Amino acid sequence: MDRLQKHLAPKRRVMERLRRAGCSVRSVSPSQGYDLLVNEHLRVALRVAFPRLRNHHVTVRNRHYVYRYRSWHFNFHHHGRIDRRYADIFVCMAMEPRHPSREKVYIIPWDAISGKTFSLHAARRHYSGQYAKYLNRWRVITDRDGGTASVRLREVA
């Protein structure tokens, strides 16, 4: 599976979910900086990540430890800069190729972004960081439209 296919399948899933919720959704050119236009005004950028093993460095009492964590990384920046608002909402999909039922989706509004990236580490406990409240929070998209589709969205999610 190449890079485009890894992005297109989740994009279709997000489009279908939003359409079933009563939203009009259309795909836009990648040169726009976002992926979907919802209800003709809401710009949605899709971020898809697959798990990778990454080193995590910790220093405690002058002792250095290195752990390898399974994690997903999402970029909000373009070429290291996040000075221009190019999307209204980010849909971050942490994919699980072997266990699709374990996939995580975070729907994060631009105003909640506090840095250039978001790292989600696999752990025994659930993620409880600043973006935890946006897990499966599809209402971030539907409430921007006056909530017309929010009732039907519960049936889809």
154 or 34: whose pLDDT is higher? 34
* Whether residue 148 has pLDDT greater than 80: no
Distance CA 65, CA 79 (A): 31
Distance CA 94, CA 96 (A): 7
pLDDT at 46 (0 to 100): 95
Condensed to tens digits (0 to 9), the pLDDT of residues 2-55 reads 667 778 889 999 999 999 999 999 999 888 889 999 999 999 999 999 999 988
Distance CA 3, CA 49 (A): 11
Condensed to tens digits (0 to 9), the pLDDT of residues 44-60 reads 999 999 999 988 888 99
pLDDT at 39 (0 to 100): 94
Tokens encoding 108: 């994060």
Q: From edge to edge, which strands make up the β-sheet containing 63-75?
A: 52-60, 63-75, 117-121
Distance CA 112, CA 51 (A): 24
The three-class DSSP label of residue 31 is helix
Domain that includes residue 20, residue range? 3-156
pTM, entire model: 0.82
Q: How many domains does the chain fold into? A: 1
Distance CA 129, CA 18 (A): 26
Three-class DSSP labels, 81-150: ECCCCCCCEEEEEECCCCCHHHCEEEEEEHHHCCCCEEEEECCCCCCCCCCHHHECCCHHHHHHHCCCCH
CATH of the domain at 87: 3.40.1350.10
Could you tell me which residues are beta bridge partners of residue 134? none
Q: Look-up: residue for tokens 């990454």?
A: 54
pLDDT at 94 (0 to 100): 95
Q: Give the pLDDT mean for 114-124.
A: 89
Neighbours of 146 (CB within 10 A): 9
* Whether residue 99 has pLDDT greater than 70: yes
